[in-house]
Amino acid sequence: MDDMTTTSGNLVTEGYALSEYTVDGLGFNQKRFINVIVEDGAGNRAAYTAGEGSSLEDVSDVTDPTAGDSGTITATGGEFQIEYTWTAATDTETPLSDLYYYVYASESNNISDVAAMQANGTLVNEGKGLTSHTLTGLGYSETWYLNVYVVDCGNNTAAYTAAGDITDPDDDPPVPGDSGTVTALGGNLQISLSWTAATDLGTAQNDLYYEIITSTSGNIATLADISANGTSSGNGTGITSYTLDGLTYGDTRYVTIVVSDAEGNPAVYTMTSATTNSCEYGSCDEYCDINASWDSTNCLDDYCVYYLDNDPICPNYCSMYGSMDPDNCLMEYCSSITDNDPICPGYCSMYGWMDAGNCPDEYCDANPTDPLCY
């Protein structure tokens, strides 16, 4: 058989041919458990089934104990715990050190006496000489009640008065994921955002609330800055990405994320920025290269001023064609002129003889008067 060792009990006797044992030196009404292991000459072992017994009550003691301090229990709530203390009971027959306490807890105030404790409460501790107990592992803003009854050697009881308190509220903000990093990527008339989900002690990750804050200047790094300068551009619960759309070409936006838990405690991600493409092609450097006299920093502006916004690449194009849906302005434009403008997606495919990789160059060689080629 497997080896058996004593891990939680005390060895009180051993020997050959034992068949009984008496636990002595106990007080009145004291409970003990006992078990036996038998071993043969080869060292094989077998265990009996543990037995339970109690010493006799002091039948001469018929007086109830007296709960200390009129049965008052003091409850003090803290972070994830509530501490309870009480004054030791007294008894006319049983020494103070032999009084035995049973400690019960409940989320409701329904443990006012011994019967109610046993019926409605949860036994959280017991033993001689107890005068305190702490409920730990609780959540934010949890209310718990605790009560105690004391037993003397005559099995007489006395109950204290139940007391309750509440744990500390959640005033800790969430922790932004990945040290608060926000990734921002500029595209055509939009900026795509992504970030790592935050964590919080009191709110589930999927229940955290995110608000996307933007500005045209780098002035939204803190909550105070956001309150003064930021614009709320979107929000959602449990989200880790968002797209800022409806922007213009060459539009630079500064962005941060504010995450809040269920109690409204906020935390700020790290501010970042991105710029939309300067034109449908992603860059207007080609225009600047061809028109050396233009300021390369303001190439698109210079081009649009020069051509009075008649090219659909310019920001004011949609406003010139009021009948078009602004959200699909370029698409409608290209459909209306059957992709004859080089800004339209189907342009290169219309000129099959052109190398798609050099479409603008070959087009400009064949059409030097087109504004795109100036």
Domain 68-166 belongs in CATH node 2.60.40.10: yes
Residue 178 has pLDDT above 90, yes or no: yes
What is the pLDDT, as a whole number, of residue 341? 56
Look up residue 323 and give its DSSP letter. Answer: T
Q: How much is the average pLDDT of 335-347?
A: 52
pLDDT tens digits, one per residue of 76-108: 999 999 999 999 999 999 999 999 999 999 999
pLDDT tens digits, one per residue of 100-142: 999 999 999 999 999 999 999 999 999 999 999 999 999 999 9
Q: What is the pTM of this model?
A: 0.50
Residue 353 has pLDDT above 70, yes or no: no
Q: Which has the closest alpha carbon to 111: 59, 148, 74, 65?
A: 148
Residue 162 has pLDDT above 50, yes or no: yes
Task: Work out the pLDDT band at 223, boundaries 50, 70, 90.
Answer: very high
Share of the chain above pLDDT 70, in %: 69
Domain 177-275, CATH class in plain words: mainly beta
What is the pLDDT, as a whole number, of residue 338? 47
Task: Work out the pLDDT band at 301, boundaries 50, 70, 90.
Answer: low
Task: Work out the pLDDT band at 149, boundaries 50, 70, 90.
Answer: very high
Task: Work out the pLDDT band at 1, boundaries 50, 70, 90.
Answer: very low
Give the strand order in the sheet containing 241-244.
182-186, 191-195, 241-244
Three-state helix/strand/coil letters over 272-315: EEEECCCCCCCCCHHHHHHCCCCCHHHHHHHHHHHCCCCCCCCC
Domain boundaries, the chain: 1-56, 68-166, 177-275, 285-373
Contacts of 250 (CB under 8 A, 6+ apart): 275, 276, 277, 278, 279, 300
pLDDT tens digits, one per residue of 243-264: 999 998 889 999 999 999 999 9
List alpha helices for 132-278, DSSP H. Answer: 223-229
Q: How much is the average pLDDT of 16-45?
A: 82
Share of the chain above pLDDT 90, in %: 56
Look up residue 206 and give its DSSP letter. Answer: G
Q: How much is the average pLDDT of 278-292?
A: 54
What is the pLDDT, as a whole number, of residue 291? 55
Residue 371 has pLDDT above 60, yes or no: no
Q: How much is the average pLDDT of 36-54?
A: 87
List, as one string, the DSSP characters of 48-96. Answer: ---EEEEPPP-TT--SPPB-GGGG-EEEEEETTEEEEEEPPPB-SSS-G
When the pLDDT of each residue in the chain is averaged and rounded to a whole number, the result is 82
